[in-house]
Structure formats: C-alpha cells, structure tokens
Amino acid sequence: MNCPRTGKPMEEIEIGGVKVDVSTGCGGIFFDNFEFKKFDEPFEAPGEELIAASQKYSDESVDTSPRIHCPHHPDCVMMRHSFSVKQAVEIDECPQCGGIWLDPGELGKVRALFPSEEAKSRAADEMFEKMFQSPEMQAMKSKSDADLAKAKRFARMFRFICPSNYIPGKQDWGAF
C-alpha cells in the first residue's frame, strides 16, 4: 500500500495489538475502520507509541491541502471533515471502508483536544445548545410550529368533510 500524499510505501506496524499503516514518505497514519478510536484520547498509552513511531518519518513540508484517495480504494476520494466541534483538526475519511487518514502531527493535535470522550460529548452538547438558542433558530422554530398548527387544522377539516367508514378490526375491506 502506498501513501496517498507522497506515493511512497507505507510501513505496517503493530502497536497495542492494532496494525496501522505509517507513511515512510511523510509520517501520515492510515487507520482501518474503528482503529482510530483506540488512539484518539490522551489516556490511551498506545497513542504515544504511535506518535513516536510516525515522527521518525515526519515531513511537515508535505502539502496537505489537496484531496487524497483512499490507500485501500484508489478510485475513491476521501472526505475531509473536522474531528470535533472545536474544528481545530481536519481528518480525511474514506466513504467506502471508513478508513481514516491523519496527516503528520494530527494525531498529537487530536489527542490534545479533549481529555476524554465524555468531555468531547459535553462540548458538542454545549455547542448545539448555544446554536439552537440563537434568535434565528427560535424564529424558524416559531414558523415551523405555526405551519404544523395549520396542517393539523387542515387535516381535521379534511376528516370532517370525508369521514371514513372504516372501523379497525370490524371490516374485511379497507378504506382510504
């Protein structure tokens, strides 16, 4: 398998019982589906070993701006998205296999963002609560509630104009 950034071969190393691929050209790391969760929090010791292993190949001069293709699926462009609500680190994820690519130095940044998964969830909850309490969102909710009330009135009127003769469990035929 070759590095999606440099095209150089990737070295498969086993850390903490998990095999990950490290680029020999830039020090980037490719995690197969669900492997990343074993390294993303600061208390997980294998993460420090992996950072040390990838730093021996680290090349910060590699251009990380272009989109890349998945090392497992060369025809598939990886999706780029923020790792957390802080939007401090962008990671690349394969839509086909769920593999994650971290550019040089990103694993250390990810591990420094939150002390635990609970802290990450709390930060997301706070951000969403703040976002949905904005005046714009409250206005949209009021409009949505008004539209729902209109739709319910229309449905009641329609039931009054066109009543159904169907009584559940009493007829063999259906109604509209």
Contacts of 111 by beta carbon, 8 Å cutoff, 6+ apart: 39, 40, 41, 42, 47, 51
Please tell me the predicted confidence (pLDDT) of residue 155. 83
Could you tell me the residue ranges of all domains in the chain?
10-115, 133-161
The count of other CB atoms within 10 Å of the CB of residue 96 is 13
User: What pTM does this model have?
Assistant: 0.68
Give yes or no for a contact between 76 and 95, defined as CB atoms under 8 angstroms apart.
yes
- Provide the pLDDT for residue 55: 85
Give the pLDDT score at 157: 82
pLDDT, averaged across the chain: 85
Pairwise CA distance, residues 67 & 89, whole Å: 15
Terminal CA-CA length for the chain: 59
pLDDT tens digits, 115-156: 888 888 898 888 888 878 888 888 888 899 999 999 999 888
Q: Which among 52, 53, 61 has a CA at the least distance from the CA of 5?
A: 61
**Dihedral angle, C-alpha 78, 86, 48, 31, nearest 10 °:** -20
The answer for residues whose C-beta is within 8 angstroms of residue 162's C-beta and 6 or more apart is 176
All residue ranges of the chain with pLDDT < 50 are 176
